[in-house]
Every structure is written in C-alpha cells, then in structure tokens.
C-alpha cells in the first residue's frame, strides 16, 4: 500500500475520533427550510499551523469536461477566499501539468511520491485542498456533485472531507439559493431566481462552492 493510499485511508480513522471529528448526514434547517449540507467530516477547529492552503485545480473525471472544470476553478477559488479561514494559493492547470504531467488531480488518484511535501515546499503551504466534481448538469435541473478533501502537508493528516450532490430539484436548495443571493445581493439588490440563479450554472456553482466551504473547520 502506498503512503497516499494510507493517507486517504485515514478518513475512516478520522470519522472515529471522538471529540475531534463529527460525521454528518443530510439535514434541513428547521428555522429557514433551507438545505444544510452535513455529509462531511472534519476536525472541530483548523490546526493553528494551517495558515496557507494550496487549492488544486478542479478535477472533473468522467463527470465534467476540462472546459467545465476550467470554468469552475475561479468560482471555487473565490468562494474559498471569502471564507477567510486561511490564505489561499491557487495551483494553475499549467503549473500542475508542468509538475505532474496532468492539468488536475483527483483526491482518489494514486498521487506522485512526496506530492504533498513538494507542494508544501514550493508554495509555502501547510495544507492542500482537493476538489472533485462527481456529478454535473448545466441544464435544468442544475446539478453539481462535490467531493473535497483538505490535508495537512507536515503529517499528511486529513482534517476535512466533504461529499455532496446539489440539485435545483430539491426545494430546500432553491430556498438556499434565494437566501444566498438576497444576503449577498447583486448590483444593489437580490436576483430574480425564476430567470437567473435557477438556470445560471455560474451562479448555481457560486452557491454550491460557498455552501460547501462553509462546512470547513472554524479558525
């Protein structure tokens, strides 16, 4: 078994750490009727040593073509930066291809030897974040599946893992979209979801990314 196979095998151990991590399932916010993703596991708080995180290019595999992933890259990067939990450094597709022979890498790939250590050294990052697209449909009903993992460089510890599928067929997600854009606004006011966010892949992806990263361990 490779060191990275052991590394990703730590997910099961992380789930079992009483008091350090909490597994979750789908839930609805009873007060607002909005969808609250809870299919994730993570440490209660970010390690103090994690101050700078390297975000890898979005990986689509068989679910999303390269052009879709390139489209999603800046959307996920912006959403992660808005969380303000740590400094975000983005690994470009060109840099990834030059260093590893491929423009993106999945969290489930057999990763190159000393992958985390190399990235940590070259980008002065204490952790690396993987984003995989596990489902994608740009037509109604809009659908995006996200699998994400945050791992530390120093001890190759998985400190957060997320796996969720968002679809506008779910009325709770439609409510979440509405609240997301009313809260954040656009050009001074909320958007018309009937003709915009519910049919706009870009705006839906922004909501998905923000909702996903809101489940990261707190600082």
Average pLDDT for runs of 10 along the chain of length 219:
40 34 45 80 96 98 96 98 97 95 92 86 96 95 97 94 96 89 61 62 95 96
pLDDT, residue 38, reads 82
Look at residue 209 and tell me if it is in a domain.
yes
> Bridge-partner residues for 132, per DSSP?
59, 147
The C-alpha atoms of residue 156 and residue 2 are separated, in whole angstroms, by 13
Q: How many domains does the chain have?
A: 1
How do strand 52-55 and strand 35-36 relate by DSSP bridges?
A: unpaired
pLDDT, residue 81, reads 98
Look at residue 219 and tell me if it is in a domain.
no
Q: Find out whether 41 and 161 touch, Cβ atoms under 8 Å.
A: yes
The C-alpha atoms of residue 125 and residue 123 are separated, in whole angstroms, by 5
Q: What is the CATH number of the domain that holds 73?
A: 3.40.50.10610
The C-alpha atoms of residue 144 and residue 20 are separated, in whole angstroms, by 29
Look at residue 79 and tell me if it is in a domain.
yes
**Alpha helices for the chain (secondary structure H):** 3-15, 66-83, 93-100, 115-123, 171-184, 201-213
Its domain, for residue 38, covers: 3-213
Look at residue 218 and tell me if it is in a domain.
no
Question: Which 3 state secondary structure label does DSSP give 20?
Answer: coil
pTM for this entry = 0.82
């Amino acid at each position: 078994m490779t060191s990275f196979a052991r590394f990703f095998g730590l997910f099961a151990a992380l789930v079992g750490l009483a008091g350090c991590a909490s597994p979750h399932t789908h839930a609805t916010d009873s007060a607002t009727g909005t969808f609250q993703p809870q299919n994730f596991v993570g440490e209660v708080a970010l390690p103090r040593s994690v101050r700078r995180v390297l975000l890898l290019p979005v990986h689509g595999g068989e679910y999303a073509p390269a052009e879709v992933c390139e489209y999603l890259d800046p959307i996920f990067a912006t959403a992660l930066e808005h969380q303000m939990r740590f400094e975000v450094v983005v690994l470009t597709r060109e840099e990834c291809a030059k260093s590893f022979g491929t423009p993106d890498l999945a969290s489930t790939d057999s990763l190159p030897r000393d992958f985390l250590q190399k990235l940590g050294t070259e980008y002065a990052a204490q952790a690396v974040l993987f984003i995989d697209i596990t489902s994608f449909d740009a037509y109604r009903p809009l659908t995006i599946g996200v699998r994400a993992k945050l791992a530390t460089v120093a001890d190759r510890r998985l400190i957060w893992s997320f796996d969720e599928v968002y679809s506008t067929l779910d009325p709770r997600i439609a409510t979440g979209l509405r609240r997301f854009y009313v809260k954040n606004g656009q050009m001074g006011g909320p958007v018309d979801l009937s003709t915009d966010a519910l049919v706009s892949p870009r705006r839906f992806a922004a909501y998905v990314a923000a909702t996903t990263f809101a489940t990261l361990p707190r600082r």
